[in-house]
Each structure stands twice: as C-alpha cells, then as structure tokens.
C-alpha cells in the first residue's frame, strides 16, 4: 500500500517549497533564535508570509532572507517605512538602497514604496518582498491585481505584516494569490461555505485550513507561539481612555440630537465638533513635557493642532517623500516634541517607540487604522507604559463602542488563529508533520454480516478474492470537508482528476473481490458547477466520468437506470435557481430539468458460474426493466440524523431502500454476498440481510460505523424473528 499512502500524502493541501536550505550559522548573529528559525523557514519555502506582531523583527527577517537568497531583490514598503528599512538593514551590516526608479538601483537589495512600484521592471528581480503587506486589502482592486500580475513570474516572494484574523478572508486570500499559492475562488471552494451570515469556515475544514495556512504563513504574536522564550518580549501597560467634549451638532429638521445616523451624520458631527476636540487635544499635549503623537482624520484637524503647538512637526500627504522622511526622523531623534499626522500616512510599519504618548483627534469606524496607529508606540521594545487618549464629542460614543467591540472580536479571533496554527507552525519550523485526525480501525461481525471500520482502499484487501456476488453503493461525491477532515475521505478531493485517482484504488479492489461475470451497481448523480468554485455555472458529467473510470480499471459497462426525481422537492432542498418558478418567468435560459439519480451497472469480465434467478414477477420485471425507475420515494431511507457530527455541513444522504432492494433482487440470489465499500449507516447491508443475503462492507467515519452496526444488528434480529404461523405452531402447506 506504499503507493496509496504516497497518493494520500499528495492530497494534503500544502505549499511546495521553492527556496533553498541555509545553515543557521549563516544568518546574522544579531537575530534572536526565533528570528533565525523564521528566516530559515522562509528561505526554505521561497514563497511565504511572515505574519508577525509589531516589534518582532520582520525587517531583519526580510533583509536576511533577501541577502541569503543572493538574488536581486526589491522590497516594497509604505512610503514612511522604506527609509526605516535602510536604517534597520545597516544594523546587521546589509546595504539596502532606497530608490524610486530603475535608474537609481545600485545595490543587490533595493527598497521603494507602493506608490513608485510601477516604475520598476519585475524581470530585473529574482525576489520581491511586500512589507506591511496587509496594505494590499486597502489598495484599490486594480492596484492589488496589478501587483499580483506584476510579480507573478518572480521566483521568490515574501510578504510581511501583522497577524491576520482567521476569518479575514480578504487578507488571507490576497496573500495566497500574490504568493501564487491558491486563488481566492479555490480557497473559498475548498475551506469555506456560504450561508445566510456570509462566508464561514467549514467545520471539518478547520484542521486542513489551519495546516494549509501554516504551510506558507507563520502567524506569531510572541516567541512562545513557536516554542521559544518570551524574555524581553513583554508589552508594557496600555492606558487607552476616551476624552469627551460637548456636542453641539443637531441634524436638520429635529429639535435635538438623538444620535449619529450614517456616514453623513458622522462627517458633519466631526466637523461641527472640530474646534472643541482640537482644543481638548492641545490642552492634553501642552500640559505634558514628553513626546506625543497626535493622530488626525481631517486636514483641518491636523493644521489646527500643528498651529497651536509650536514644538510640533506636521506630516501631511502632500509632502514630498524626502520631506516626510526628514520630519519623521527628526521626531524619532527628539528634535520635535510632537508629531502631527494621519494614520494613513504614518500608521503602518513605522517604529515610533521613542514616544509613549498619543492622542486621537476623533476616531473613524476603522478598528485596523486605530490598532495600527497604537502599535507604532505600543510594541516590543517599548520601555514605558503607553498612554492613549481618544478625544471625541459625546455624540460619537457609538463610534468608540464600535471600535472597541471590533478590538475585542479581533483579539479573540487572533487568539483562535494562534491556538489553531501553533502546533502546525512548530512542526513546519522543525520540518515535522502533524495530523490531528486520528485514523481508527475496527471490525464487527454478526450472523451473515461483517463490517470493517477504516479506509476501504486498505480494508477491502482483507476481503477474499472473488468472494463477492454483487456490490451496491453510492460513492461520496466531490464535496470538500463536508463530512470529515481526512485525505482518506474520497469526497475530500480538489478536482475530478484527484477524485477518480482515489476512486481507482477502490475500483481495483472491487474487481478483485467480485466473482467473474457478476455485477457492481453504482449510484451517481450529475454535479452542479458553481461560479465561486469552478468559474462557471452548469453541470459536470460525473456520470460519464464514473463510467470511464470503471472501464479504465477493467470493468464492462453493462447498463444503467435513471431514477425519477421530483423537481419541486429538489428545488426546496438545493435552492437551485434553475428550478425556481421565478426563474422560469424571469429568464428561462437559466432554467433546467431536475437532476436525476442513476444506477450504473458494471460487469466483471468472465463467465458467471451460478445463474441468477430473480424472485420477481413478470410485471415487476417489465417495470424494473424500464430505462427509468419510478416510484422510488426519496424519504425511503434508514434514520440517519443521529449519524451527523457537529462539524458535518450536511446530513448524510443514504441510498433509498427501494433502489437497493431492486438491485439486490435483480442481480443476486438468496444466500449470496453483497458488498459496499462505502457502507455509511449500513443501508445496503440492512437490505441484504432483510432479503436473505449476506453482507460485507467498509466505512471510514466512526460515527457512521457505529450507526451501521446498530442497523445491521437490527436487520439480523428481524431476519431471525419468527412469523405468526411459527409462533402459533401452524404448519403451512
């Protein structure tokens, strides 16, 4: 089974390594052990992301990554961070030049800002770094797409930014696409499901998703997340408090203000209270001898504060890059006591821990802008408690509460992310493998039946050659992480090629265990193609692909039956717009017939040694020999709701008992053995025993296996239950 185990390993979504192996002692000794290991991991991956909190040394990591790759590298950073990168690189003896065009390049490692990146030819670089790469989600869609397309052929790519929330689909998808790991559509189709609340992570996809994320992105908030000592990495106390000023704004048409409505009200209130908020902020800053940063949202706020504080330097968007850099560096060096600017200008990436006091002249609804601005001072390496004052009118309480609620939610989500990826990341750094899903095997037997718990591709090897008279089953359809997280689950296949490769191992086992000339009945249906997953809307020919797969593995395509379906029932269950009455009257080009089920019948080559003599009437034969089977009730199944686990996205869909009965009575004799490699809750076995046959089956999922055992024992009990005549001692002629 070595080949099969290698195939299973290939099914696990993990990122290919594009990089190089570098010895730890080749990395600059200034880097801490956790930084060296992160650098080695990033070098080995070649294309990856370092999601690390502020102050954990992302600049050192990216500079060493670029130096040790030895390829011409372009670092792209926010405007105010680029020159900081040059200074940080010099601390570890690496020459990084700030450039604005190809003509200025004079070093193997160059740094520019996002606004200038179009001035560079990506073909000139073997490696690219996006610093503060979370900025991608705030860039215009065209700009983001242009960056992704621009460096699509660059061999080595590294993204560095703070830790994302696990449900921040946009940020994770942007990084995966830029790095060439997976498209947004592929990621959503594989790990997420869309319901009334939007996109959410599938229950069974949690382990595969976090393992996949850890294979290309390291999420670190402190060294202990990777198993290292946190000494020296304790954040100082943070004192963040609102400062309230009286509101005088009243919307038109009302006597008094009952609160802020939409963005128009928010903007008008911010302008109406500007003078009071500026005065309160200036008073706070003027009364303190220490350095302060004053974060503004409006140009008028910034200019008013700067005018009122003679020892302040104002940095605005219209300043030249050189003027911005000179002003910020002067503030860092203590030449100015107060820096007045906007979070959009200096709120990303800058190290401003020379200061430990800041004031916000008002607040927007963006938690991220607030968080990033606070982290310019409140970061590892800060030696003083950090004071944050948020100056608001009393009408802006809703904005403050909204941002604080987002902060609590984001903290909880980041805790969740770290908890889930920690084990995988430590394994990634150490080159080990982790699988939280425990593969279980078991076996149970009864009078006339045998049930195997485990992977049918492996467990069917325990069934004797040419010992099965008929197989009846419904294979799992391609539906990622719907019922389990394991690669052993046939349904957990990324595409049709992977699915049918996996199914091929089971088809081979079925051919081996089946007697010559005997049949295999496979229940299938066509599969809808979805725009988010496949890029188009229509149907996939799963029926045809299954026929071709069985033929390729030596079976003879013997026949098929179409099973009638009720379109209204299907419309209610699937919510397919192609079946809705409204769609017929709106645009019938999208309308389509309901999807039928099929029983595909395959025959093993060779002569049947024991003729099958069905116990059916001529009328039954006439009905069952039709190309379409009518009268199969969709609700005619064993009770299945108890088999569902909490993480299952849907109930199991057991095969209708009427369908199984027709297959067994048509293509087997009493006393013969019926097999199902996907036993589920035991429907095929239940009917086989009820109809006087024997049964052998395999089931991967423990929850289904337990229900199947109960159903088989119940069928066994019923098969041995004496009838009324036996109980009364009446002899039947």
Asked whether 396 and 362 are in contact (CB, 8 A), the reply is yes
State pLDDT tens for residues 605-614.
999 999 999 9
Dihedral of CA 177/182/187/189: which sign?
Answer: positive
Average pLDDT over residues 134-148: 74
pLDDT (0 to 100) of residue 369: 86
Checking if the pLDDT of 502 tops 80, the result is yes
Least reliable range by pLDDT among 5-9, 261-265, 378-382, 511-515 = 261-265
Checking if the pLDDT of 456 tops 80, the result is yes
Checking if the pLDDT of 553 tops 90, the result is yes
First CA to last CA distance, the chain: 55
DSSP symbol at 596: P
Give the chain's domains with CATH numbers.
8-226 (3.40.50.300), 238-410 (3.40.50.300), 444-726 (3.40.50.150)
pTM score, two decimals? 0.75
Nearest to 459 by CA among 483, 475, 480, 440: 440
Task: Please report, rounded to a whole number, the percentage of residues in the chain having pLDDT higher than 70.
Answer: 90
State pLDDT tens for residues 351-406.
899 999 999 998 988 888 898 899 999 998 899 999 999 999 988 888 899 899 88
Q: How confident is the model at residue 237 (pLDDT cuts 50, 70, 90)?
A: very high
Checking if the pLDDT of 257 tops 60, the result is no
Those residues with Cβ within 8 angstroms of residue 394's Cβ, 6 or more apart along the chain or in another chain: 244, 245, 246, 247
Nearest to 407 by CA among 446, 363, 362, 457: 363
DSSP H helices, 431-488, are 456-459
Phi first, then psi: what are they for 161, rounded to 5°? -165, 180
DSSP 164-223: PPTT-HHHHHHHHHHTTS--HHHHHHHHEEEETTEEEE-GGGHHHHHHHHHTTEEEESSG
Which residue bears the tokens 């009243």? Answer: 250
pLDDT (0 to 100) of residue 692: 96
Asked whether 75 and 131 are in contact (CB, 8 A), the reply is yes
402/674: higher pLDDT: 674
Checking if the pLDDT of 137 tops 80, the result is no
Nearest to 430 by CA among 69, 41, 68: 41
512/83: higher pLDDT: 512
Q: How confident is the model at residue 437 (pLDDT cuts 50, 70, 90)?
A: low
State pLDDT tens for residues 182-234.
988 888 888 888 777 778 888 888 888 888 888 898 989 899 998 899 988 88
pLDDT (0 to 100) of residue 731: 47
Checking if the pLDDT of 78 tops 60, the result is yes
262/689: higher pLDDT: 689
Checking if the pLDDT of 33 tops 60, the result is yes
Checking if the pLDDT of 32 tops 90, the result is yes
State pLDDT tens for residues 400-425.
998 998 888 878 877 877 887 888 78
- The CA-atom distances, in angstroms, between 589 and each of 82, 541, 573 are 54, 20, 21
């Amino acid at each position: 089974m070595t080949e099969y185990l290698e195939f299973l390993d290939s099914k696990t979504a993990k990122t290919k390594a594009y990089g190089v192996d570098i010895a730890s002692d080749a990395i600059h000794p200034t880097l801490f052990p956790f930084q060296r290991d992160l650098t080695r991991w990033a070098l080995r991956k070649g294309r990856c992301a370092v999601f690390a909190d502020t102050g954990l040394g992302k600049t050192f990591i990216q500079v060493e990554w670029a130096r040790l790759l030895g390829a011409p590298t372009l670092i792209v950073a926010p405007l105010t961070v680029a020159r900081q990168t040059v200074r940080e690189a010099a601390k570890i003896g690496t020459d990084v030049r700030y450039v604005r065009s190809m003509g200025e390049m004079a070093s193997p490692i160059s740094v520019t800002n996002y606004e200038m990146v179009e001035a560079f030819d990506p073909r000139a670089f073997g490696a690219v770094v996006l610093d503060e790469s979370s900025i991608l989600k705030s860039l215009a869609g065209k700009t983001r797409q242009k960056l992704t397309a621009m460096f699509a052929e660059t061999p080595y790519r590294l993204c560095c930014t703070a830790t994302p929330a696990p449900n921040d689909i946009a940020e994770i998808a942007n990084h995966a696409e830029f790095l060439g790991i997976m498209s947004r559509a592929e990621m959503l189709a594989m790990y997420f499901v869309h319901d009334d609340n939007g996109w959410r992570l599938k229950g069974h996809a949690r382990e595969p998703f976090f393992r996949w994320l850890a294979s290309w992105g390291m999420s670190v908030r402190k060294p202990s997340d990777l198993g290292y000592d946190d000494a020296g990495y304790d954040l100082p106390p943070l004192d963040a408090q609102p400062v309230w000023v009286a509101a005088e704004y009243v919307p038109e048409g009302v006597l008094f203000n009952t609160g802020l409505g939409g963005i128009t009200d928010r903007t008008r209130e911010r302008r109406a209270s500007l003078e009071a908020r500026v005065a309160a902020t200036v008073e706070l800053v003027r009364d303190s001898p220490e350095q302060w940063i004053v974060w503004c949202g409006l140009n008028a706020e910034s200019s008013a504060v700067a005018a009122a504080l003679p020892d302040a330097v104002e940095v605005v968007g219209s300043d030249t890059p050189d003027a911005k850099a000179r002003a910020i560096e002067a503030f860092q060096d203590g030449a100015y006591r107060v820096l007045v600017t906007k979070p959009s200008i200096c709120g990303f990436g800058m190290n401003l821990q020379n200061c430990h006091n800041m004031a916000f002249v008002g607040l927007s609804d963006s938690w991220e802008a607030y968080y990033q601005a606070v982290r310019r001072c409140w970061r590892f390496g800060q030696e003083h408690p950090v004071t944050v004052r948020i100056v608001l009118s009393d009408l802006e309480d809703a904005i403050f509460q909204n941002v604080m609620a987002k902060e609590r939610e984001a903290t909880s989500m980041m805790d969740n992310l770290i908890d889930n990826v920690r084990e995988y990341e430590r394994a990634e750094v150490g080159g080990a493998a982790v699988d939280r899903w425990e593969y279980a095997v078991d076996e149970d037997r009864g009078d006339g039946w045998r049930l195997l718990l485990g992977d049918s591709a492996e467990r069917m090897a325990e069934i004797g050659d040419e010992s099965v008279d008929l197989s009846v089953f419904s294979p799992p359809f391609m539906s990622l992480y719907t019922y389990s997280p394991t690669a052993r689950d046939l349904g957990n296949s990324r595409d049709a090629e992977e699915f049918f490769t996996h199914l091929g191992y089971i088809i081979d086992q079925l051919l081996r265990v089946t007697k010559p000339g005997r049949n295999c009945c496979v229940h299938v249906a066509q599969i809808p193609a979805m725009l988010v997953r496949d890029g188009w809307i229509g149907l996939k020919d799963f029926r045809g692909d299954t026929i071709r797969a069985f033929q390729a593995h030596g079976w003879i395509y013997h026949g098929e039956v179409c099973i009638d379906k009720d379109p209204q029932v299907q419309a209610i269950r699937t919510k397919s717009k192609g079946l809705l009455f409204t769609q017929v009257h709106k645009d019938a080009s999208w309308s389509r017939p309901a999807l039928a089920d099929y029983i595909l019948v395959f025959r093993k080559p060779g002569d049947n040694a024991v003729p099958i003599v069905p116990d059916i009437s001529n009328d039954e034969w006439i009905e069952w020999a039709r190309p379409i089977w009518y009268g199969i009730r969709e609700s005619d199944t064993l009770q299945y709701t108890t088999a569902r686990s909490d993480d299952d996205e849907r109930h199991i869909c057991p095969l209708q008992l009427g369908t199984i009965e027709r297959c067994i009575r048509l293509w087997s004799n009493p006393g013969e053995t019926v097999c199902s490699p996907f036993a589920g809750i035991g429907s095929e076995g239940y009917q086989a025993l009820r109809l006087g046959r024997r049964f052998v089956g395999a089931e991967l999922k423990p929850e289904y296996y337990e229900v199947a055992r109960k159903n088989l024992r119940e069928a066994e009990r019923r098969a041995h239950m004496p009838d009324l005549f036996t109980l009364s001692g009446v002899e039947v002629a």
